[in-house]
Homo-oligomer: A and B are copies of this chain.
Amino acid sequence: MEDNNKFMFKAIELSIKSAETKGGPFGCVIVKDNKIISEGSNKVTSTNDPTAHAEIVAIREASNKLNTFNLAGCEIYTTCEPCPMCLSAIYWSHIDRIFYANTRDDAKNIDFDDSFIYSEVMKSMEERKIQMKQMLRGDALKAFKIWDEKVDKIKY
């Protein structure tokens, strides 16, 4: 069996186990140098954490294990196209490549909001369902100025 099939089958195994027990039907593994370094499945309801999607769980575990916030050199195998939260987390973590199985429309068909949230993220603020109001920008810029002028900052 090809390695990338093997990795996705592991993610699928995690998704099935999650669906059969206490989580959403999603699983994920992160691979570096052809070895699985972390696994994740959906833990939103079991841990009361709305951010605990399979990919976020796996990214946090991989970062913790490798002792770095930068996962360049890693690939992620996820049983569903990442939602915009997880896709963005993958960008922030600098993972190299994404393998996925089900699509956002497959997720929509079983009542998940992935497709809806993609459409909201793409809208202008004024058109979004959740109201967004700007305030106190002048005061908030102070922290940005401190950061900008900081000589020993750790970029991420």
| Chain B residue contacts of A148, Cβ below 8 A | 110
Indicate how many identical chains form the complex.
Answer: 2
Contact A91–B69 (Cβ < 8 Å): no
A36 in contact (CB, < 8 A): no
Q: Check B51 against A137 for contact (C-beta < 8 Å).
A: no
Query: Residues of B contacting A67 with CB < 8 Å?
Result: 48
How many residues from A make CB contacts under 8 Å with B? 90
Q: For residue A132, which residues in chain B have a CB less than 8 angstroms away from its CB?
A: 81, 97-100
Q: B-facing mask of A81-119, CB < 8 A → 1, else 0?
A: 101111111111111111111110011011101001110
Interface CB pairs A-B, < 8 A, 15: A15-B140, A16-B143, A16-B146, A19-B150, A20-B146, A27-B143, A44-B69, A44-B92, A51-B93, A85-B89, A85-B92, A87-B120, A91-B117, A98-B131, A101-B140
